[in-house]
A and B are shown apart, each in its own frame.
Chain A
Amino acid sequence: MEGNKEKRTKFCINDHVDILTEILKRLDGRSLCVSASVCRLWCTIARDDSLWEHLCFRHVSPVPSSGVRPVVVALGGYKRLYMVCVRPVLSRLRRLRLAGDSDRVRRVWTRDEVQLSLSLFCVDYYERLGRLGTGGGDASASSLMFLCKPVNV
């Protein structure tokens, strides 16, 4: 009896990786990054690229084709795609469109925005290629640098 009661009250999420994954899937980017520092298990899950894929295309309509994944993975993965392109693109475009609304409102991505992010991501990869060729160069030089700068829109 005592044992049952304990089992019921002590629910450890780490024992249920699939539930944990489902929960983490619903987080926003920043929280997902933060969650990677909770413990080793969470770190492993949070680094899984499929979570980031879900995050990138969560609100995309229509759903991107199956050909996208190998390309994105080859160019650096979904986490990088999110960090470098998707997050800044989304936040800037969102700020423009929804003047008054809070970001509680979930915008649906359009195909064009996806396309733009992917193009920029590809350009980023190409530039990194170039830098490798010249022996490093300075990492701050990037044509996507403009996405990292704070914008007063």
Chain B
Amino acid sequence: MKRDHPKTIGGGGNSMGNKAESSSSSMATGKGKLWVEDDQDAGDMDELLSVLGYKIKSSDMADVAQKLEQLEMVLGSEDGISHLASDTVHYNPSDLSGWVQSMLSELNHLPSSDLDSPILLSSNQDSLLGQPSTITSLDFSSNSQSKGFADDSEYDLRAIPGVAAYPRQEFDESNDRKRMKPTPIGSNTAPAPAPAVNSLQSTNSSSCTSPSSPQAMAVSGTLSEPTRPIVLVDSQETGVRLVHTLLACAEAIQQENLKLADALVKHIGLLAASQAGAMRKVATYFADALARRIYKIFPQDYCLDSSLLDTLEMHFYETCPYLKFAHFTANQAILEAFANASRVHVIDFGLKQGMQWPALMQALALRPGGPPAFRLTGIGPPQPDNTDALQLVGWKLAQLAQTIGVEFEFRGFVANSLADLEAEILDLRPPEVEAVAVNSVFELHRLLGRPGGMDKVLGSIKAMKPKIVTVVEQEANHNGPVFLDRFTEALHYYSSLFDSLEWSGLTPPSQDLVMSECYLGRQICNVVAYEGGERVERHETLAQWRTRFESAGFAPAHLGSNAFKQASMLLALFAGGDGYRVEENNGCLMLGWHTRPLIATSAWQLPAGDSL
């Protein structure tokens, strides 16, 4: 087994990720405990690695790590030389530094190609002893031996904003290539990594830690059987590495360093495989989106096949409370606005399957004083196969209305974009005759990609003279001008979402769960990979929407305590109900997962006297 590892390294030399993986696996394929009792002076050796069968002096660790780094860069970049690795003969594989040295001296005389790919090498504080992991990010600037790449290929993880990606350490100012000293491994555990782990959104690390600690335990459990080969992976640590790599890749794209980004994306794939649960899924979707952005492979138009989208959304509706929360809170606001009206008209900017309206109709039916006449105008995208999906939904709603005794009228309008609508075509009646409500659930943000679109729609809404406008939007800023900021925001946002899905009580091979994840995955793809008019998932925060509505002349309508109570009760019914939080924010309601608000419902009205 030990003799084999040069071959595995050589064979797997295509991507750095492989190298990192195979080196960690080869380290683990020792008969761990059997090597411990060797003749070397144990005090000098790094104890943790010696458990695995490697003898490295603690003082040599930094050096060895560096050399491994260089070795990987060389091997990883060119296929032609990898066969050399297998020709070398090694006699003492446990002597890592010797091995590395011999490999390097073999390869050193060859022209080394681009060395601009950094590696996040982690010197292992082990998870077995339950100590916090030390992340050492080593920056390897271009080697003096290499040809070709100048300083601009240097990659410095410190460029990633915040402490998340890179724990602050002192560095050698004199060397302007920014070589970093690794943190000392062994006895002194640097406290710096702890903030690195925690400064990620707590939801992120919670999704890493909760599945990982049983895994770490499992790993330590298997080690006690020396004959069984294991892959030693500390999934908590790789979880953090995974996030770092994702952010690093995004930054590479931001800096138009596509080669680097390409290398990192492959690395992400491997790291993601070592994770479990929500983290793995999120990472996979983000990696996929990043890859699409790098290689510029886009599937067919994002907005097409709306019937598929509807199906995905239905599953999302069934699995988790977000859409139900949106519907129930918006309905409550509409109901309160319609309190005394005898004829009501709701304009739905995104009818889809019409899931919002049965509950409203039922509430109207049971209204003290009897139901009003209810008119619904549904707006939807054009269907690829020319079926009239809107009419189908209208028919179902009409059946329901007849069952519960509500006078009902339906009209469907097909529009590519809301900005194409004019208030006149909606056949509105004067406000004394009928009260109008405008409802938009996750629709308005799509207009932000089109210059002038948002203003036009706000103008149309005002022309409809609504009694109330209900808006539900995602609570995140995925519309910033800088790609990296959008990416970071999206990573945190969707991590929370996926985390909440994990707790939905559905066992993994559930179709609902998969479809819900697919639904979110499409959004992720759109946020990360697309640009310009095709990037429609331009989410903005409640504060931004507030500013927009207020400057357009709308006044906020506070959602009452009824809405809050209903929402809280609804959430209490869901599995994982105590993870969800309803918050009131200046009259608006926000639904979040643990500490992170995810969607926000707000209501708006035209100030009295302005509706002329």
Contacts and interface: CB of A to CB of B under 8 A. Distances in A.
Query: Do chains A and B interact in one complex?
Result: yes
B574 A68 contact: no
A116 B227 CA distance: 59
A38 to B, nearest CB: 33
A151 B358 contact: no
A128 to B, nearest CB: 10
B88 interface: no
A119 B573 CA distance: 14
A126 B397 CA distance: 8
Given A65-B366, A67-B365, A146 B400 contact: no
B403 interface: yes
B318 A119 contact: no
A118 B319 CA distance: 20
B228 interface: no
B565 A119 contact: no
B144 to A, nearest CB: 60
Nearest to A95: B572
Interface string A96-116: 100000000000000011011
Interface string A114-153: 0110111111011001100100000001110111011111
Contact of A116 (B314, B361, B569): B569
A130 B318 CA distance: 14
A41 interface: no
A142 B511 CA distance: 12
B309 to A, nearest CB: 16
A118 B365 CA distance: 11
A70 interface: yes
A88 interface: yes
Contacts of A89: 569, 573
B461 interface: no
Contacts of A20: none
Interface string A1-44: 00000000000000000000000000000000000000000000
B423 interface: no
B506 interface: yes
A49 to B, nearest CB: 16
Contacts of A150: 505, 575
Contact of A123 (B321, B359, B370): B359
B392 A133 contact: yes
A56 B357 CA distance: 24
A71 B366 contact: yes
Nearest to B569: A116
B259 to A, nearest CB: 46
Contacts of B578: 153
Contacts of B361: 122
A120 B535 CA distance: 35
B570 interface: yes
A146 B566 contact: no
A153 B400 contact: no
B471 to A, nearest CB: 21
Contact of B363 (A115, A143, A152): A115
B404 A149 contact: no
A119 B569 contact: no
Contacts of A129: 396, 399-400
Chain B contact residues, majority secondary structure: helix
A67 B399 contact: no
B328 interface: yes
Interface residues of A, number: 38
B99 interface: no
A145 B572 contact: no
Nearest to B406: A71
A118 B355 contact: no
Contact of B506 (A116, A121, A149, A152): A149
Contact of A74 (B314, B404, B505): B404
Given A112-B565, A149-B505, A151-B575, A122 B570 contact: no
Contacts of B35: none
A151 B577 contact: yes
Contact of A147 (B365, B368, B573): B573
A115 B512 CA distance: 27
Contacts of B355: 123, 126, 143
Interface in B347-371: 353-355, 358-359, 361-363, 365-366, 368, 370
A93 interface: yes
Contact of A122 (B321, B324, B362): B362
B317 interface: yes
A146 B320 CA distance: 8
B211 interface: no
A75 interface: yes
Contact of A115 (B392, B504, B566): B566
Interface string B299-337: 000000000000000110111010010001000000000
B587 interface: no
B318 A113 contact: no
A74 B366 CA distance: 13
B562 interface: yes
Contacts of B358: 119, 122-123, 125-126
A75 B404 CA distance: 7
A122 B353 contact: no
Interface in B391-423: 392, 396-397, 399-400, 403-405
Interface string A49-66: 000000000000000010
A70 B362 CA distance: 12
A92 interface: yes
A126 B366 contact: no
B318 A142 contact: yes
Given A71-B365, A96-B572, A126-B358, A151 B505 contact: yes
Interface string B564-590: 011001101111011000000000000
A122 to B, nearest CB: 4
Contact of B370 (A67, A115, A142): A67
A108 B366 CA distance: 21
Contacts of A88: 573
A125 B366 contact: no
Nearest to B395: A133
B107 to A, nearest CB: 56
A65 B371 CA distance: 13
Contacts of A141: 314-315, 318, 512
Interface in B529-554: none
Given A116-B569, A122-B358, A122-B359, 10 more contacts: A71-B362, A96-B572, A116-B570, A122-B362, A141-B314, A146-B504, A150-B505, A150-B575, A152-B575, A153-B578
21 contacts: A71-B404, A75-B362, A75-B403, A112-B562, A118-B362, A119-B362, A121-B362, A123-B359, A126-B400, A129-B400, A133-B396, A141-B315, A141-B318, A143-B317, A145-B318, A146-B573, A151-B573, A151-B574, A152-B505, A153-B572, A153-B578
6 smallest beta-carbon distances between A and B, as pairs? A122-B362, A119-B359, A126-B358, A74-B403, A122-B358, A143-B318
